[in-house]
Structure 1
Amino acid sequence: MDANKIIADIKNRKLLPVYLLHGEEPYYIDLISDYIEEHVLEEAHKGFDQTILYGKDTDFVTLVNAAKRYPMLGEYQVIIVKEAQNLKWKGDDDLLLAYLENP
């Protein structure tokens, strides 16, 4: 799926439960993640229903726990992991894989 298709789907509120963005070109990753951050939730809901994590400061347990929370104000809980390539690997990546099988 290309960046334009993902953004078009988000604009039309056709959201997937998980977006795993990777590749050689960080421009498209940033474009999509910035669009999600700015447009999925209403501004008033972001303080409650949007979490931004940084890979170097988090691990899979923290990530999965954040993803399992229910939204407080809106329809969605948005978790964005920036610099995910730096996620701390502690042998707990099976938690993330299990979550991804059934978000």
Structure 2
Amino acid sequence: MFTESWTALQNFTPEQTAFGEQNMGALMGLGFLIALISSGFLGFVLRKIGANDMVDAIKMSLVLCFGFVVLTQLYDPVYAITPMALFYIDASYQVVGFPLMAAIHTLMANVMVKD
């Protein structure tokens, strides 16, 4: 949704743009793997803290997201002096993604066979 804005704010060099275009499949695959691992960790933490229903899982995922991910991403505009608009795009991606991952984990836990 924000591809053009995000790309413009990154100020990629022509070499970086060419590399991204040539390796898009591998980069997207790596991004999916990172999201899958992140989701696994989120699911693990949600189980450990006892967030078993959908509402609790979503609330806790947002607490974790803001407390760790968003605050960590805030280093970029502070120290790397990147545009705040870039921070808003990157952080919003996580703020939307974490509750979705929590919802999926909750739904999967309710569907799986219990011992």
TM-score (normalised: structure 2) = 0.28
Larger-gyration structure (1/2): 2
Higher relative contact order (CA 8 A, sep 6+): 2
More helix by share: 2
TM norm structure 1: 0.31
Higher strand share: 1
